[in-house]
Amino acid sequence: MNGLLDPLPWLILLPLAWASLAFLLGPGRGGRLALAGLAGQLALALWLARRLIEGGPVSHAVGGWGAPLGIDLYADGLSAVMLLLTQAVALPLAFYARAYFAQGAGQFWPLAGFLLAAMNALFLAADLFNLYVTLELLGLAAVGLVALGGGAEPSRAALRYLVVSLAASGAYLLGVALIYGSYGTVAIAPLTPLIAAQAPLAVGLAAGLMLLGLVAKSALFPFHFWLPPAHGGAPAPVSALLSALVVKAAFYLILRLWLGPFAPLTADWGWLPALAGAGAILWGSWQALRTPRLKQLVAWSTVAQLGYLFLIFPLFGLKEPALQAGTLQAVAHGLAKAAMFAAAGILLKATGRDAVDGLAGVAGRLPLTLFAFGLAGVTLMGLPPSAGFLAKWLLIDAALEQGLWPLVAIVLAGGLLAAAYVFRVLRQAFLLAPEAQQFHPVPRRLEWAAFGLAAASVLLGLRGVELMALLGIGVAP
Amino acid sequence: MLEALSALLLLAGAGFYLAGTVGLLRFPDVYARLHALTKADNLGLGLTVLGLALQADSLAAALKLLLIWPLALAASATVSHAIARRAAGLGLKPWRPEEKRP
Amino acid sequence: MNLLLDGLLVLALLWSAWRALASPDLARAVVLFIVFGLLMALAWARLNAPDIALAEAAIGAGLTGALLLDALGRLQPGTGAPAPESPAQPPANRAGRRWTGSVALVAGLLAAALAYALFQLPAPTVRLPEQVAANMAASGVDHPVTAVLLNFRGYDTLLEVAVLLIALIGLLTLGPAAGRPAAPGPANPLLKALARLLVPLMILSAGYLLWAGAHRPGGAFQAGALLAAAAVLLHLAQLLPAWASPGRLLRLGLAGGFLIFLGVAAALLAEGALLTYPPAQAGGLILLIEAGLTVSLGLILAGLFLLFAGAEERP
Amino acid sequence: MSAGLLYALAGVLLFALGLGGIVLLRHALRRILAFNVMGSGAFLVLVGLAQRDGGADPVPQAMVLTGIVVAVAATALALALLRRLPEDRP
Amino acid sequence: MSPNEALPLAVLLSSLLPGLIIFALPESWVGTRTTLNLAGALAKLVLVGLLLAGVAAGQDYGFRHAVLPGVELVFKADALALLFVTLSTVLWLFTTFYAIGYLEDAPHRSRFFGFFSLCVTATMGIAMAGNLFTFFVFYELLTLATFPLVVHRGTPQAMRGGTVYLAYTLGGGALLLTGIVWLHALAGTADFAHGGYLAALPPRAAGQLQFAFLLLIAGVGVKAALVPLHGWLPQAMVAPAPVSALLHAVAVVKAGAFGIVRIVYEVYGVEFAQSLELLTPLAVAAAITIVWGSWRALFQDDLKKRLAYSTVSQVSYIALGVALFGPIGTIGGLVHLVHQGIMKITLFFCAGNYAETLGVHKVSELNGAGRRMPLTSVAFSVAAFGMIGVAPTAGYVSKWYLGEGALAADMSWVVAVLWTSSLLNAAYFLPILYRLWFRPQPAGWPAEHIPARGWRETGWLLLMPPLFTALAVLVAGLFAEADWSPLAWAKLIAEREYLQ
């Protein structure tokens, strides 16, 4: 198969190309380049999905050397779905960012480009050390984006995020070192049978270190402290990118390792991430209810919603439904959270204040934004007809199938708490309030981008069959 | 014969390093310590490099070894000059015998 | 005898690392960290990994040390007095001590478990060094490390250069666009003379390192680091002004190496897969990529220092 | 007890020291130092373990080269961020 | 897309599409909005007429849409569904007229009518749902669509009422979801079927099924305002009159009652439910609600709150009818679903008229309103007599069948409950009628907005709807035996339900 026609390498090379060109040509042309690049990437992701449905998992040996010596790219249903999510969220956000950064976008486009390239590379990687390099690229790009806003507070948040991210990468790297020392290779495909055959203590410790590092990067409950200041303080398109996509990459990796090479080691540890997930849901929602700042509320909502993703780990007795529930929740949250941060960004731009109450005056003038926020809220609450509801349905179904009642209680409680903090904002739209004094008009394109994302998360709630069919490819039942 | 000479040179070099280090620990102020470091240690380095050059397996390797010495000399001269200038700029007076030992 | 020497080196390593982290005075911590870097370079030499020794000395200890010293300068501007006692020791109250104790305990347990596990390791089943040796002929270079770096795991290097570039771009978003760098006092004549003497030699040896990389320890990263060191030296001797916000040409230089690497990778797709060098031109292509990388890495690593050091405090 | 294994043990100790440092130390510059120590430790384990029964293995050496470059990139970014924080509470 | 599939979809879209368009309409386009509203309502009426004719002739309509592997949105317009669909469609038409009149140059009308249409779409979806999944999707959509209407006025009390409403309904939704998923886990994906699809499960699952039944009824009971879960209904009276009329008399509470009917008849099946002894507790709960609702209504001075408590008690008649094991009880329950709807909407229309025209909110302020607004008061009286169950009205018919059903199922204590509640109804309605007709007018009305012009005591848009619905109450009562009456349709359903 001629390399030129293989979507896998292009999904990585294309963003790298337009990111570095955007760096060369400056912010003005950077926006146009990004849009063209992202449109191409979405087409590539769809093409990859179609090829997967026809021919099963696809792999691409970089350099032609093959697994243990060279590095392989591998795409199965799970990576295809995550790629689709990444491109599908990034394209509208690019529209949003072009209108949002009316004046100087600074280095937003190169940073975002490298971030997306790192994410695509991560979803396609099949080599542990290669994953380390992609995680670092992702981390540094994300830190650069967080600090884009300038000022002492975002810098402090960015530094704390960087330190946590580097410590996590260090732990991950030590895990890779131990595995290389034990088996002599870091390629996932040959490793899986080796670990299944014989796993000395060092490999157990390596698995623990790697998963712990990734858990810290995905801001799961005990390690969540860096997320709200980082995502809350950053400009809106950045927080949308980070909350919707970047934390998902770490979750994807945990899933990939948990079900793949480390499956024999992690068989009966499912309760630990679920416990942390439950903690995340309760603590995140509680904080979201109390914070006076709008973007902090949405950031704490991310901490809470991430908890849902980790509830599926004790359900891997029946792998298929649990994986479907987790992936659908990741996709639904990705779309909805991007829409919510976009809407929050518009409200912040319009009122000039990052506050939850006091939006009543503005709500009348920005109906589309509030509607987008509402639709995104519906998905986060897991109410029909949204994709969030389907994910909640699958999760509760899988939990009941295996009789895990506390899980069901947590999911329901999370949904009600989500309703509580979403309606903290939505009720402003209905309050009779005097016209807000200072109201800066906001370009319509911003509102349409936010509405598009929110509508997508609801429409996905009506048709999830193809997505689940795609997900099933390459995932051993 | 060559080995004996090279061992002798290496021992001398080590001796000068020892002197430099003792000077570094015992001298009262920064200027004196600079003397100890630049003069004694560099001479020690020279002797060591000569000793090693004798044992080098090829002329090219020996020449590369010998190249280290002048580079180190130039670098340590400049650095000690910069440190001394900086110290003078900060008003550190050189040590006089009548002051009591620090 | 060898084990004794290694043992001494390991003890020195651990001691310098411990003192670097635990010493109360920040300046002393940084200097000790540079010592730790140099000792690490020695350790890599003992592990007969000359490439890493070179990189560690030039980048790990050298450039990082320079960055740390400069950051130190910013934290206590020009007083030269010993840094304010920012206690490395944890707070004295009971909760603080218990927290420190528990973290130390956990770290200790982790180290003990890992150490114990290291002794139980079975012999590795996959022997990659043999596979590298077997495929050396087709890799286009003679030196195994360069072969792995640019051919077998070339994809890693592509992403790694992207990491460097993104760190620089991150710096650009932070460094203030405006503001000339504060001149660090009158130029030191001796330093200027040394710079004029050494820089040509450094550029020459950088070129040598680049060329030698094909069949001896060396290569793009070490050569780039040397070029960066030359640039830092010129800057300190005030012969090279800092870069506030790079113009179009400098940006081309910074991203050029990466773009060349990307272009070659994309072009090679026609050969069947990403970065598949045709055996005949493999050596030439690798040299082209390495040359581009040397220039760009030199500029980027220098940029990490110059952009960062040059821009003075924004009010 | 080959040289490789000795350095791997040193690496483990350095890693633990660095990790403890990151968690305990308050000052941001010290945390950056701790991160670098931790990274060096991980690199030592990577090469040391791979070469625990003699023979230089170029694959981990190439990985460590990549790791060192990544570490300096991260440190430079961290120091740039540090410079933007107010002096009194680094 | 065969016509049998297209028709139910068209019924759904006939209120969804106008709704979505109305959202986008700017506030000032009054004409377009009104035409869109009325066009949607009329189109739906015609489509439902076609459906009625088709279903009566034995055709079956429905369509399926796969949402997830093994989970489908299923729509089935069977006889039971059409009972609720027809009721909603007819009353939606009248309420649209009423709302247009009521909200003359009020703010946010596009938003109001947008959500209004969404509510009706949700009601249609609930009625035509073919399985529990679809039922739940539209059940929660109804919650989301009604919240903005409850808080439409934007006053702090409205917000408090809305929050209470949301807390109850979302909490109920969570319970319902658990029950539905549990049944899904136990019995796999199954559509509603006459006689229920759970009977086939192995006996050991009986305990779980009972607990699941409790969850389902609790979830649905919130909207059906069964006693412990009825708190939101009086609070929701802060909503404007058309909302209280259509939603709290028809759409929302009926959705709950309809849910109970579906669960008992088409999920568990009446015989299976009886064998699991689920019907008696349901009957007891309904009975308690009936008495408790009427009892609390006695003491409410606010007219709409009194009507709200009356709704709480009346809706439980349907639940009672369902719980009476036997066809006659079922007919009584089903027909009451329609009759209660017509009667209660008339009462709310009249209450709205009194409030809008005279500014009268309290029962104590109603003295002599009969003379000032004779037509509205006549409609009010007819509906009030219907609620009490006086002879010629629809209320009498449904209570008659409920009584007969109770005797047939030898649950004679139910007859006693019916009598006590009828007496209580009389106790809280007759004083109002007495004030309306036999007390002199006060010097001035609290806030007389609309002056009387000859026989038109208030805007004709406000006056016509209650008159028509009052007429319907009489017609449904007098011509109960006719073959096109709600009673006949209820008999058709009961006959099909019990045939298997």
Residue of B10 and E442 predicted with greater confidence = B10
Q: Which residue range(s) make up the domain with C307?
A: 130-315
Segment C143-167 mean pLDDT: 90
Examine the pLDDT at A420 and tell me if it is beyond 90.
yes
If asked whether residues C314 and C216 sit together in one domain, one would say: yes
| Cα separation, C116 vs C121, whole angstroms | 10
- Of E110, E52, E42, E39, give the one whose Cα is nearest residue E79: E52
Find out whether B13 and B44 touch, Cβ atoms under 8 Å.
yes
Q: What is the pLDDT of residues A138-153, one digit of tens each?
A: 999 999 999 987 788 8
pLDDT at C239: 81
Per residue in E208-242, pLDDT tens? 888 999 999 999 999 999 888 888 888 888 888 88
CA C309/CA C183 separation, integer angstroms: 11
Q: Tell me if residue E3 falls in helix, strand or coil.
A: helix
| C144 close contact with D: CB closer than 8 A | yes
Alpha-carbon dihedral sign for residues A41, A43, A49, A51: negative
- Which site among A155, A160, A166 would you substitute to test the D interface, given the most D Cβ atoms closer than 10 Å to its Cβ? A166
Residue with the larger pLDDT of the pair A103 and E401: E401
Residue contact A202–C118, C-beta within 8 A: yes
Touching subunits of E (3+ CB pairs, under 8 Å) are A
Q: Which of residues 53-82 of D touch C (CB under 8 A)?
A: 53, 55-59, 61-66, 68-77, 79-82
**Confidence check: pLDDT of E256 > 70:** yes
Q: Does A388 touch chain E (CB under 8 A)?
A: no
Tokens matching residue A448: 């349409």
Counting the structural domains of chain D, the total is 1
Domain of residue D50: give its range. 3-83
Measure CA C225 to chain center.
7
Mean pLDDT of E425-446: 85
pLDDT, tens only, B48-76: 999 998 888 888 889 988 988 998 898 88
Distance of CA A345 to the CA centre of its chain: 19
Q: What is the CATH number of the domain that holds D28?
A: 1.10.287.3510
Find out whether A283 and A303 touch, Cβ atoms under 8 Å. yes
Name the interface residues of B facing C (CB cutoff 8 Å).
Answer: 71, 74-75, 77-78, 81-82, 85-86, 90
Please report residues of D whose CB lies closer than 8 A to that of A139.
Answer: 74
CA pseudo-torsion sign A69, A71, A75, A81: positive
Mutate to test the interface with D, among A163, A172, A185, A226 (most CBs of D within 10 A): A163
Nearest CA in chain A to E164: A420
D1 min Cα distance to partner chain A (Å) = 15
Q: Is C190 on the interface with D (CB under 8 A)?
A: no
Question: Residue A288 pLDDT > 90, yes or no?
Answer: yes
What pLDDT, on a 0 to 100 scale, did the predictor assign at position E179?
92
Interface check for A177 against chain C (CB to CB < 8 A): the answer is no
D10 shares contact with chain A (CB less than 8 Å): no
Which residue do the tokens 């970065």 mark? Answer: C275
In this predicted structure, the answer to whether residue C293 has a pLDDT above a threshold of 50 is: yes
Q: What percent of chain E has pLDDT over 90?
A: 20
- Cβ–Cβ of A465/E182 closer than 8 Å? no
**What is the phi/psi pair of residue D2, to 5°?**
-75, 170
Cα distances (angstroms) measured from residue C262 to each of A450, C210, D32, E176:
34, 20, 31, 56
CA-based nearest residue to E26, from E146, E145, E109 = E109
Which two tokens mark E5? 């599939």
The 10 Å Cβ neighbour count of residue C130 is 11
Angle between helix B42-55 and helix B59-89 axes, rounded to 10 deg: 170
β-pairing verdict for E71-77 and E61-68: antiparallel
Sorted by where each begins, the domain ranges of chain B are 2-89
Q: CA nearest A414 in E: which residue? A: E174
The answer to whether residue C91 scores a pLDDT higher than 70 is no
- pLDDT for D25-84, tens place per residue? 988 899 999 999 999 999 999 999 988 887 888 899 999 999 999 999 999 999 988 888
Residues in chain D: 90
| Residue D56 within a domain | yes
Span A382-396, average pLDDT: 92
> Are C135 and C195 members of one domain?
yes
- Enumerate residues 6+ apart whose C-beta is below 8 A from B42: B69, B72, B73, B76
Give me chain C's average pLDDT, please. Answer: 83
**With bands split at pLDDT 50, 70 and 90, how would you rate the model's confidence at C83?**
very low
A179 → chain D, closest CA residue: D46
Model pLDDT for residues C214-225, shown as the tens digit of each residue = 888 888 888 999
| Interface B-C: count of C-beta contacts within 8 A | 18
Query: Based on the structure, what is the number of domains in chain C?
Result: 2
Interface test mutation site (partner A, options C152, C156, C166, max chain A beta carbons within 10 A):
C166
Q: What is the pLDDT of residue A477?
A: 47
Query: Higher confidence at residue E232 or residue C241?
Result: E232
Which chain C residues are closer than 8 Å to D16 by Cβ? 107-108, 110-111, 114
Alpha carbon of C122: minimum distance to chain A alpha carbons (Å): 7
Closest CA to E75 of E219, E192, E225: E192
- C80–B77 C-beta distance less than 8 A: no
Note whether A9 contacts C165, CB cutoff 8 Å: no
Chain D (35-54) residues lying within 8 Å, Cβ to Cβ, of chain A: 35, 38-39, 41-43, 45-46, 49-50, 52
**Best mutation target, A69, A137, A180, A203, to test chain D (most D CBs within 10 A):** A180
**Judged by CB atoms within 8 Å, which residues 201-230 of C form the interface with D?**
221
Instruction: Please compute the mean of the pLDDT values over residues A111-124 and round it to a whole number.
Output: 95
C-chain residues near D3 (CB < 8 A):
2-3, 6, 46-47
Among D7, D43, D68, the residue to mutate for chain C (most C Cβ within 10 A): D68
Q: What is the pTM of this model?
A: 0.91
| pLDDT band at residue A436 under the 50/70/90 scheme | low
Picking from C80, C188, C194, the nearest residue to B90 by CB comes out as C80
Please state the rounded mean pLDDT for residues E376-391: 88
Q: How confident is the model at residue E334 (pLDDT cuts 50, 70, 90)?
A: confident
Q: Which of C152, C155, C163 is the closest to A130 by Cβ?
A: C155
The burial of C183, by beta-carbon neighbours within 10 Å (0-12 exposed, 13-18 middle, 19 or more buried), is given as exposed
Q: How many CB pairs under 8 A join C and D?
A: 220
Name chain A contacts of D38, Cβ cutoff 8 Å. 167, 170
* Domain contains C54: yes
Binary contact (C190, B90; C-beta < 8 A): no
Contacts of C162 in chain A (CB under 8 A): 16, 114, 117-118, 137
Residue D46 C-alpha, separation from nearest chain C C-alpha, in angstroms = 12
Q: Does residue C130 or residue C180 have the better pLDDT?
A: C130
Q: Which C residues in the span 262-291 are in contact with D, Cβ-Cβ below 8 Å?
A: none
Interface of E with A (CB under 8 A): 23, 65-69, 71, 73, 111, 133, 136-138, 140-141, 143-144, 148, 151-155, 158-159, 162-163, 166, 170-171, 173-174, 177-178, 181-182, 184-185
Q: Under an 8 A CB cutoff, do B78 and C197 touch?
A: no
Q: Is the peptide bond preceding residue A385 cis, with omega within 30 degrees of 0?
A: yes
Q: Which of A179, A68, A172, D57 lies closest to C121, judged by CA?
A: A179
Residue C106 lies in a domain: no
Identify the burial level of E14 via C-beta atoms within 10 angstroms of its C-beta, where 0-12 means exposed, 13-18 middle and 19 or more buried.
buried
User: Which residues pair with residue A187 across a beta bridge?
Assistant: A127
> Which chain D positions have a beta carbon within 8 Å of C74's beta carbon?
83
Q: Tell me the C-alpha distance between C279 and C298, whole Å.
A: 29
- Alpha-carbon span A342 to A94, nearest angstrom: 11
When CB atoms are compared, the residue of C252, C262, C275 closest to A63 is C275
What's the gap in Å between the CA of A107 and the closest CA on chain C?
6
Q: A180-194, C66-80, E452-466: which range is least confident on average?
A: C66-80
Residue A180 and residue D60: Cβ atoms within 8 Å? yes
Q: Does C152 contact chain D (CB < 8 Å)? A: yes
pLDDT at D1 over 80: no
Kindly state whether A51 is in contact with chain D, defined as any CB-CB distance less than 8 angstroms: no
| B77/C191 Cβ within 8 A | no
Residue E12 near residue E124, CB atoms below 8 Å: yes
Mark whether C51 and C134 lie in a shared domain: no
